[in-house]
């Protein structure tokens, strides 16, 4: 092995040791965020479950319409307006984004 190869190998090893200690330190510092990340993971999994089982959303909507039709219409109107605003906002953002 020539000296350049040896120096590069030693430098690589030092960098690997330093990054392992930084990963450990980051893990210890971020331990307080674990409950928030756990909650976010649970929410994401709930959304995935709802996408796999859309019949529950339909059942909840039907139950709302049967139990409180006036409130259901109000929420449907809000959802429709929200959807329209989202579409317009997305179009504006798409036009402003660089190609």
Rounded Cα gap, residues 84 and 98, in angstroms = 23
Q: Given CA atoms 23, 28, 32, 37 in this order, what sign does their dihedral have?
A: positive
Residue-level pLDDT at 1: 67
Give the total residue count for the chain.
Answer: 99
- pLDDT, one tens digit per residue, over 18-61 is 999 999 999 888 888 888 889 999 999 999 999 999 999 999 88
- Cα 31 to Cα 23: distance, rounded to the nearest angstrom: 12
- Does the model's pTM come out above 0.85? no
């Amino acid at each position: 092995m020539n000296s350049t190869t040896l120096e590069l190998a030693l430098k690589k090893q030092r960098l690997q040791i330093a990054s392992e200690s930084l990963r450990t330190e980051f893990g210890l510092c971020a331990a307080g965020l674990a409950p928030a990340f756990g909650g976010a993971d649970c929410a994401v999994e709930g959304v995935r479950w709802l996408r796999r089982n859309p019949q529950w959303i339909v059942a909840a909507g039907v139950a709302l319409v049967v139990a409180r039709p006036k409130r259901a219409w109000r929420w449907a109107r809000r959802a429709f307006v929200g959807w329209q605003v989202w579409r317009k906002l997305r179009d504006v953002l798409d036009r402003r984004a660089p190609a």
